[in-house]
Structure 1
């Protein structure tokens, strides 16, 4: 099965609220013997998030994307307050949006270098972000959820 097919099935299961299937797939993926496998899936999900952003917010090719991080009270905070894996995934997404392939690859690798539980955390964040970005909305981009450790 290709990475694209796997992510298609994973996203279909998430959209269908088949959470047991999603949990099982994430568990198997996080325990994969090969680091490139989770990294390939994270990279695919990052690219899908970037594509979803593009459907919400079209800008000229020279525009730069940035992120504003707020805490659970809606107060501005530092990106370093995010858990390491999701922080790397967020940076990979920003790199993808800003067409910085080398940085995207570095941050995808960093997002998948933790424990199996850390990798599940990253994958869960990316699935939630895709769901949030896929909702039809006004011209503004939706806030992306981040969950503390």
Structure 2
């Protein structure tokens, strides 16, 4: 008998648990999960997790800012003092994750997939940094005012 299983099921469950812990403020659980991710030996797993998180962030943006297909989304990057910063000053991983989010919002799945791949090409600690950014973005989007434009924090070295 053949079982019909979703091959992404374990990754989706891991991501759901990671998001649940982040939303609940269970930072020890988040840290433990990120440690597991950093030690993961399967190269496709980080890309699947980042892809899931990008999709969740895009859904959160769409929920507050519905747009017609073909709408163009833009971003403004500011530092913690609200001064404008060039987007290219972001670290490569979070920059690629931000571009993946914009591609997802624009319905460009091919570009989204390319940017997710680029976001997960670094060392394990770089990939963990990307996942942390996406988790922070998801929390920020979930708990910020629905009338305000989405604001996403980025952390630079």
Query: Normalized against structure 1, the TM-score is what?
Result: 0.94
Where structure 2 has 5 or more consecutive residues not aligned to the other structure, the ranges are 1-8
Hey, what's the Cα distance between the residues in 1 that align with 2:145 and 2:51?
25
2:131 pairs with 1:115: no
**Cα root mean square deviation, aligned:** 1.3
Q: Structure 2 length as normaliser, TM-score?
A: 0.89
Q: Write the mapping of 1:1-149 to structure 2, written as runs, cut at 5 A.
A: 2-135=10-143, 137-149=145-157
Residues in 2 aligned to 1:18 and 1:52: alpha-carbon distance in whole angstroms? 21
* Count of residues in correspondence between the two structures: 149
Between 1:46-55 and 1:4-13, the stretch displaced more is: 4-13
State the match for 2:4 in structure 1.
Answer: none
Question: 5+ unaligned residues in a row in structure 1: which ranges?
Answer: none
> Once the 2 structures are TM-superposed, how far is the Cα of residue 33 of structure 1 from its aligned partner?
1.1
Q: Tell me the alpha carbon deviations over residues 81-129 of structure 1, each in whole angstroms, 9 at most, x when there is no partner.
A: 1111110100000000001111101110111111111011100000000
Question: What is the deviation of 1:136?
Answer: 5.0
Runs of 4+ aligned residues of structure 1 deviating over 2 Å after TM superposition are: 138-142
